[in-house]
Structure formats: structure tokens, C-alpha cells
Structure 1
Amino acid sequence: MWRISMFNLLPKQLTGALLLAGVLSGCTMAPTYVRPEAPVAGSYPAAADGQAQLDAAALGWRQFFPDQRLQALIASALENNRDLRTAALNIEQARAQYDITAADALPNFDGNFSRTRGRTATYQLVPGQNAVNNVYQVGLNMTSFELDFFGRVRSLKDAALASYLATEEARQSAQISLISQVAQAYLTEQSYAEQERLARQTLDSRLDDYKLDKMRFEVGASSELDLRNSETLVQSARVSLTTLVRQRGQATNALVLLVGKPLGDLPAPQSLSDEQIVTDIPAGLPSDLLNRRPDIREAEQQLRSANANIGAARAAFFPTISLTAGIGNASTSLGSLFSAGSRTWSFVPQLTLPIFEGGRNRANLSLSEIRKNLAIASYEKTIQSAFREVADALVARGTLEEQLAAQDAFLKAQEQRVKLTELRYKNGIASSTDRLNAQRDLFSAQQSLIQTRQLRLNNAIDLYRSLGGGLNENTAVAAK
């Protein structure tokens, strides 16, 4: 009600100008936005048979990571990770900047009250006039409100809105990356933990063998070479153990940094051989990435912002029309400030026409167009990078399954080889060197199997991330 009565007090010319500005504020000189064609093939090089039955972006991370220990780590990271918190604050910053820009599209009114006290020169006085005078003023002013005839303010507002939306997409992209980083850091720590346990078991076994070999040497049943070979196996296992202890500690520190706080009490971990650590998903089609991946949507919003800035640069070639107006009361005494006849008002339209700018406006327009072309190139590169990430994950998925099966078969063969070599060694047929090589190869094969399992799980996480998974906590859309 106050706003309506305020406009009734304004001159009719000002009211009409504001209404016309409101109508024309929807105009813009920005080019019509057209999404660039995706510069990728229509299918992945190693796409799964048939179309995807489940959208990875809709698959909640709790469904994709059934491991309760990993779920607790991810939940803690989403709450405490400082990089994600920074991304959220960047959204607040962009929103505030958008609100500032959007405010320029509306007139700003200021209320004021002033008292002016001054002395008039004696020779300028008329009979009965005081040399010292007071002037009191109270009123409502509107200062330099731009009538957006050519859409300059509207274009700047659209650019700020696109930048704000791009920042929101960047936060979602940061969340996806954080979840995958936590999961892979967890797998790295678990891999080192399993290798450490393997190294401890191997060291204990070799120490027992070394004691027996030492007794055999002392009674003359074996040579010193046999004893030194056995000692070599013990020291090799000890070196591997200390290395793995260090690597596991560093992996734990990396996980703590991602989680954002000490790990505390967590559910028991699952073995890397457990198939329930991650859930397998199909890949879908390349065109789905445009809507799945927030980094692609971020790049498109940045392109929209650059496109809108061209409109602002074009509008700078045309006149700028602004209004300054005021309404109020003025009097030489405070008591008569609101008396009859004290009403005052002013209405000052101003038109500014660029005549000579030294090429500034043309250079700004060229700069805006170049920035748009850069945004297009960045958008296309983001799509290509996303396509490659999915394609790489798909290629690796098939080969890693085969590699894991081969590595498992290789380990079983090595275990059988060690049994036969030990039997031949006890019967005096095989040398201590044959025994040493067999045990070293077995330990290496056991470590390689753990590492291959980790690679396979990391590959599943890479595919989930590259398809845009990780935004939802639980499944939002049921699988078809």
C-alpha cells in the first residue's frame, strides 16, 4: 500500500517512464543461444550390449557403495570436507553477486532529511532579511535509474544468473569428485592393509623356516648357502612389511584429509575380494552425459554467461537513458516544513550518447565475442574429456575382469609350485635357490592379486563418477 501511494505522489511523466522501462526491460541484444553440437561419437568404443537400464546419476551412492564402513566415511566427508565447504561458499558468493546485479534493474529510492544553515553577504540583503538563514528539506529521491531500452542491464543480469548456476554445478561436480576420491582412498588404505597382513604372515612363516634351516646347518645337514638364502627371504619380507606399514599410514592420512576429521569408530572393513563393496552399472549413451555430468552443465552455463555479455557489449553502442527524480517538502523553519506551499519535486531525465570512445566499445564487443568462442571450446573439450573418461573406464572394465581371473589362476599355480619345490628341497632334489625363487614369486603373486582387485574396484568407481553418479544419497529413480 505504501508503494502505491508513493507512486501517486510522483509526476505523471516519471510514472509513465517507469512503466515503459518495465515493458522494455525484457528486451535484450544478446545473440540467441544455441547449444553447440557434441563433438563425440554416437557410441562408446567398448559400450555394453543394449541400452542402460539404470541412470548412474540417479543411483544413490549408498546403493552403489553397500560397504557400511565406506558409507560412514563418505557421509563424514560430505559434512566436513573443506574443499566441498569452499564450493558451497562460492555458491553463496555468486548468489550475492547475482542479487547485486539484479538490483540494478529496479529503481532505488532513498529518503532524506537535511538542514542547511548559511550566511548571506550584507550587501545582498533586502530590508527585513536575516543574514543567517536555515533551510529544512525532507523527501524521497530516485537517483540515476537506467531505462533499459537496449537490454544492457538485462544482459548483465542474465550473465550473473548463468554464473551463479555454473557455480552450483561446480559444487555438484566437487561432490561427485569427493565421493570417488574418498572411495578410492579407502580402497588404497584397505589394499595396503591386506598387503601388510600378508607381509606379516609371510615374515612369520619365513622366520619359522629360517629357524629350521639354521638347525640343519648347525648339525651339518645343509650348507651355509642354504642358510643365507633362507635369511634373504626373511629380510626381504621384513623390508616389504616396513614399506607397507609406511604406505598404509600415508594412505590413512590422505583418507583423514578427505573425510575432514579423525576416522573414529567405524564398522569393520570388507575384504577387497568381497563383491559387495561396489555395485556394477551399465554405461548408457554418450548423449546422456550432457544431462548427467554437472561439469558439462557448468561449462554450458559459463557459455550462456558469455553469450549474455555480448548483449551488454552491443547495448553500449546505443544511448543510455537514466532518470533522477525527487519529491518532498522544503521550508526555512522546521515547524512549517509540512505546511501548505512547502511541496517540492524534481524530474531530471538524462540521455548519454556515445560519440567518441577511442574504440573502447568495439574492443569490448570483440572481447565478449572472443570469450564466447573460448567458452564454446571449453564446453566442447569438457564433453570430449567426459566421453574419454567413460570410454577408458569401459575398456578397462573388460580387461580387468580377464586380468583378475588370470591373476587368480597364476597365484594358484605359484602355490602349487611352492609346494612341489619345498618337497623336492626336503628330498635333496631342488636347491635352496629354487626354493628362494619360488617363495619370492608366490609373495609377489599374492600382492599382485590384491592390487588387481583394487584396480577393478577403482575402475567401477571411475565409471560411476564419469557417468555423473554421486549426487544422490539414495536411489531417486527406480531401475526399469
Structure 2
Amino acid sequence: MSTYAEHLPTPNKIIPALIAGLLTWIVLGCNVGPNYVRPTAVAPQAYRGALAPDVTTATPTSTLADQQWSTVFEDKTLQRLVTEALQNNLDLRIAAQRVLQAQAQVGINRSQQLPSVSAGGSFSALQVPSSFASKNANGTPGASYFDGGGFNASSAWNLDFWGLYRRQSEAARADLLATEWARKATRSAIVEGVAQAYFQLRSLDAQLQITGNTIKAREDSLKLVTSLEQYGAGSLADTRQAEELLHAARANLPDIRRQIAIEENTISILLGRNPDAVDRGLSVDQQPHPQEIPVGVPSQLLERRPDIQQAEAKLIAANARIGVAKAQFFPNISLTSLGGSASNQLQSVFSGKNAYWYAAASFSEPIFDGGRIRSNYHLSQAEQQEMLLDYKKTILNALKDVSNSLVSYKETRERREAKTAQVTSAADAVRLARLRYSGGNTSYLEVLTTDTDLYDAQLTLAQAQEQEAASLVELYAALGGGWQ
């Protein structure tokens, strides 16, 4: 006849069952706190100031921002400068190191979900002089050498039943994503910065050349006026006015050279090198300017702009930290264990009779903390709301950037076209005025006025050409290009 004890499960069956049940309990444990849901962003149907009908309805991926920067900037020298900047720029390298730091932080947070295990051992030996050793019964000296030791292993595991560590890992992964998008935003800013500085440099080069040509023309004009004065066909007033024009042009040279040096130094720093001269390529008036630019639809900015992606990643991290703060309200459950073997005789350390072990489970529940946990929970909620507002603000600023760039590109192009016509008319006016002065039909004041107008118009045209080129760069960056 069988007894009740015979039907009880043996320890060999109980322990695996307990472990399986514990693991199931941990896996099915809940994650407190809200799960992230992307906020609804209401974007307009089209950008304000679009240059052409939205061609992206038929081909939604064919937009300016989808193009590589090397296809947008056709100047080979500019392409080489941008490539060098992306390889050597210190800001970009700093951003890359921040990504590595965030990756390491993810590993640190993830490790808290797993048990920690450590092991160690010890050995000791002692030898004493025989005169101090006790004697045996037969009168001979006793043992004078002793040794012993042991080894042990211990483990500890804070069970993540409430999702505290999982939420921390979720926040760390979101922080990593935000850091990666920040690196891409830095990359885009470097492409934009090098191109902007390069076009500014080429505009200053054009202004320097214009000023040099103007100085040569005014030197020739001064020689003519001086010659006419010597033969009685001119006056000293005409000579002084011609000298005034020449000195005014010469006075502009130092300032233009100063600005050129500043732009070269700016580009050099962006390239990660010491301040030095910079190579030149196409002149500012030879830079390509497309008449129509496919810009896509505003909703595409949510996926393309790195600053928007960064803001959303920060929102995800803040949302996860609400769960971290909420988990602090619940009990903290932990398991600890220790085992090993020890003996005062080294040769018997591994004997089973010298083994020992210890296991314990504990939990702690906060009862009174002066409102610290509740205040921390409210803090995490407020930070999440701040990140939500920042996310929405970033989207609005992105829409503003695109609209501003579209308007700027359109208006600067029209301004450049008008200035080109103005320079053509001013050059002809100078030619006619000099002919009239040579023929004695007008005073030198007319030549002075028309020459000044031409010089100013030429300088303004060079600046307008730079602004048109720069506005294309701004539009490309505003649409989210340059980081791919």
C-alpha cells in the first residue's frame, strides 16, 4: 500500500519547476508607464512660396532633399571641400564620439536587467618554528606547517517585474537614437556651412576682381583727364574728381581682402585644418541654379529632417522615463545566493563535505520618503510634456525654414536678374558719358556719377549672385538634405 509521501514531488523536480515558474513570471511582468505613440502633427498640404506645382504627387520620392549633396553642388572644387570637411571636421568627430558614449550607456542600462555573478578563491599557508609547535605524545615536535583555502561564487538579481530596468533601457536606446540624429544634423550643417562660406568667398573674389578692374579703368580715366587739363581742354576740378573716384575704389581693397581672409579661415576650420588659403572652382556667376525645384509635401519633413527625428527620439526617451519613475512606487524584489567550499587543508577543499551554500529572496516597499518618489514622477511627466511641445515646435520651425528658403530663392533670383540688367545699362551709361566728356559735350561730373553707379551695381550684383546660390543651399538643408 502506497503512502502519501511517495506521491510528493522530489526536490529534483521541484527546483526546475520553481525556476521555470520564476522565469515565466519575470517575462510576463508588466511595464508600468505609458507606451509611446507618435503625436498627431497637422501639416499643410503644400509649402508657402513653392516655386512650381507639386510634382511629388506623382513621384513622391523625387525631391531636392533626396539628392546627394554632390549632385546638388556641381562645382568640383566645392565637392572636394565638402568631402574633406566630412572626413576631418572636429564637430562631426565629436558628434560621433557622443554616439559611442550613448551606445555604451545602452549596454550599461541593459546589464541591470540581468543577474550579476562573481567568483573568488583564497589560499593561506602558515609555518611556525618547531620550538613553538606542540609536541606529540611520544615527545616529538608536532606539525609546524598549515595550509588551507577555498573558493566561492555569488550572484544577485533584482527582478524587473515592474519594467523599471526595461524602461531605463528603452530611454537609453531613444537617447542613442537622438544622439545619432544629432550627428546627422551636424553632418547636414557642415555641408551647408562649407557651401555657404564657399559661395561667400567666391562672391568676395568677384568683388575683388571688380574693384581691380574699376581701379584700372579709373587710372586710365585719370590719365585722360590730366592730359586734357595740361592742354587746356579740362580743369583742375575734373582732375580732382577723377582722383576721388580712384581713391574710393582703392580704399575698398583692404576691406575686401580682410573679408576674404576671414572666409578662408572659416572654411579651413570647417575642414579641420589650420587657417590657410582655400582652392577655388567655378565663379559665383557660374554656379547652377535650377528654375524648378521639387520639394515634396510637408508631411515628408517628419521623416527627413534630422532635427525633427532627434526631437521625437527625445520625446520617446522622456516618455519611457515616466515608466521608470512610476516603477519606483512598487516593491523591489531581489534574489541573492552564495556557494562554495572551504577547508583548513588545501587537499580537501574540493571534498563534498566542505561545500556550503546560501540563498535568499527579499523585497522592499517604500512607505514614506517625504514625497520624493511622487515628485520625481510628476517631474518625469512635466519633462515629457516639455519634449512634446519641443517636438511640435521643431516641426513648425522646419515648415518655416522651408517656406523662408523657397521665398528667398525666388526673390533672390529675381533680384539677381534685375541687377544683371542694371549693370548692363550702367556700363553703357559710363561708355556714353566718357564719349560725351571726350567730345567736350558734358562735364566730368556726369562721368563720375555714372562710373560710381556702375561700380556699386557690379558689387551689388556679385552679392546678389552669392545670395541666390546661398538660398539654394538653405533650401536643400531646410528640406532635410545633406546628411544621407
TM-score normalised according to structure 1 size: 0.88
Q: Which residue of 2 aligns with 1:401?
A: 413
Does the 8 Å CA contact 1:136/1:330 hold for their aligned counterparts? yes
Q: Which residue of 1 aligns with 2:118?
A: 110
Is 1:80 paired with 2:84? no
Q: Which residue of 1 aligns with 2:19?
A: 15
Q: Which residue of 2 aligns with 1:194?
A: 206
TM-fit CA distance, 1:16: 4.1
TM-fit CA distance, 1:430: 2.0
DSSP-derived class of the 2:302 partner: helix
Q: In structure 1, what residue type is equivalent to 2:234? A: S
Is 1:41 paired with 2:44? yes
Q: Which residue of 1 aligns with 2:34?
A: 31
Q: Which residue of 2 aligns with 1:125?
A: none
**Change over 3 Å in CA distance of 1:74–1:378 after alignment to 2:** same
The equivalent position to 1:364 in structure 2, one of 367, 376, 383, is 376
Q: Which residue of 2 aligns with 1:335?
A: 347
Instruction: Give the whole-Å Cα distance in 2 for the aligned partners of 1:15 and 1:133.
Output: 42
Does the 8 Å CA contact 1:51/1:285 hold for their aligned counterparts? no
**Change over 3 Å in CA distance of 1:139–1:272 after alignment to 2:** same
Q: What is the aligned-residue RMSD (CA, Å)?
A: 2.5
DSSP-derived class of the 2:228 partner: helix
Is 1:309 paired with 2:321? yes
Instruction: Give the whole-Å Cα distance in 2 for the aligned partners of 1:418 and 1:265.
Output: 36
Q: Which residue of 2 aligns with 1:127?
A: none
- Give CA-to-partner distance per residue, 1:207-234, whole Å, 9 cap, x none: 1111221222223221111001000110
**Change over 3 Å in CA distance of 1:417–1:230 after alignment to 2:** same
Does the 8 Å CA contact 2:265/2:276 hold for their aligned counterparts? no
Q: Which residue of 2 aligns with 1:136?
A: 149
- Give CA-to-partner distance per residue, 1:294-325, whole Å, 9 cap, x none: 11000000000000000011110000001111
TM-fit CA distance, 1:30: 2.2
Q: Which residue of 1 aligns with 2:131?
A: none
Is 1:433 paired with 2:445? yes
The equivalent position to 1:253 in structure 2, one of 265, 269, 272, is 265
Instruction: Give the whole-Å Cα distance in 2 for the aligned partners of 1:72 and 1:211.
Output: 45
| Overall identity of the aligned pairs, in % | 36
Instruction: Give the whole-Å Cα distance in 1 for the aligned partners of 2:25 and 2:290.
Output: 58
Does the 8 Å CA contact 1:278/1:457 hold for their aligned counterparts? no
TM-score normalised according to structure 2 size: 0.88
Q: Which residue of 1 aligns with 2:331?
A: 319
**Change over 3 Å in CA distance of 1:464–1:73 after alignment to 2:** same
Does the 8 Å CA contact 1:140/1:326 hold for their aligned counterparts? yes
1:28-177 equivalence runs, <5 A = 28-38=31-41, 40-47=43-50, 48-52=52-56, 53=59, 54-115=62-123, 136-143=149-156, 145-177=157-189
Q: Which residue of 1 aligns with 2:247?
A: 235
Larger deviation, residues 408-417 vs 326-335: 326-335
Unaligned runs of 5+ in 2: 1-11, 127-142
Runs of 4 or more, structure 1, over 6 Å off, are 132-135, 263-267, 277-280
Q: Which residue of 2 aligns with 1:412?
A: 424
DSSP-derived class of the 1:35 partner: coil
Instruction: Give the whole-Å Cα distance in 1 for the aligned partners of 2:242 and 2:49.
Output: 48
Unaligned runs of 5+ in 1: 1-7, 119-129, 473-480
Larger deviation, residues 280-289 vs 382-391: 280-289
DSSP-derived class of the 1:29 partner: coil
Q: In structure 2, what residue type is equivalent to 1:155? A: R
Instruction: Give the whole-Å Cα distance in 2 for the aligned partners of 1:366 and 1:17.
Output: 35
1:281-292 equivalence runs, <5 A = 281-292=293-304
Q: Compare relative contact order (CA 8 Å, sep 6+) and give the higher one, 1 or 2.
A: 1
Greater radius of gyration (CA): 2
Q: In structure 1, what residue type is equivalent to 2:68? A: G
Instruction: Give the whole-Å Cα distance in 2 for the aligned partners of 1:194 and 1:258.
Output: 22
Does the 8 Å CA contact 1:44/1:286 hold for their aligned counterparts? yes
TM-fit CA distance, 1:414: 0.9
Q: In structure 1, what residue type is equivalent to 2:36? A: Y
Does the 8 Å CA contact 1:289/1:467 hold for their aligned counterparts? yes
The equivalent position to 1:346 in structure 2, one of 358, 376, 379, is 358
1:352-391 equivalence runs, <5 A = 352-391=364-403
TM-fit CA distance, 1:345: 1.6
DSSP-derived class of the 1:273 partner: helix
Instruction: Give the whole-Å Cα distance in 1 for the aligned partners of 2:345 and 2:371.
Output: 53
1:269-284 equivalence runs, <5 A = 269-276=281-288, 281-284=293-296
Does the 8 Å CA contact 2:36/2:319 hold for their aligned counterparts? yes
TM-fit CA distance, 1:333: 2.0
Instruction: Give the whole-Å Cα distance in 2 for the aligned partners of 1:262 and 1:360.
Output: 52
- Give CA-to-partner distance per residue, 1:120-171, whole Å, 9 cap, x none: xxxxxxxxxx9x997633122112x111111001101100110011000000
DSSP-derived class of the 1:321 partner: strand
TM-fit CA distance, 1:34: 1.8
State the number of aligned residues.
451
- Give CA-to-partner distance per residue, 1:11-40, whole Å, 9 cap, x none: 658734762465146x31121212122254
- Give CA-to-partner distance per residue, 1:185-241, whole Å, 9 cap, x none: 000111101110111111111111112212222232211110010001100110112
Larger deviation, residues 401-410 vs 31-40: 31-40
DSSP-derived class of the 1:329 partner: strand
Does the 8 Å CA contact 2:202/2:280 hold for their aligned counterparts? no
Instruction: Give the whole-Å Cα distance in 2 for the aligned partners of 1:417 and 1:456.
Output: 27
**Change over 3 Å in CA distance of 1:406–1:265 after alignment to 2:** closer
Is 1:421 paired with 2:433? yes
Instruction: Give the whole-Å Cα distance in 1 for the aligned partners of 2:462 and 2:361.
Output: 78
DSSP-derived class of the 1:417 partner: helix
Does the 8 Å CA contact 1:139/1:326 hold for their aligned counterparts? yes
Does the 8 Å CA contact 2:105/2:172 hold for their aligned counterparts? yes
DSSP-derived class of the 1:344 partner: strand
The equivalent position to 1:446 in structure 2, one of 443, 449, 458, is 458
Instruction: Give the whole-Å Cα distance in 1 for the aligned partners of 2:311 and 2:265.
Output: 33
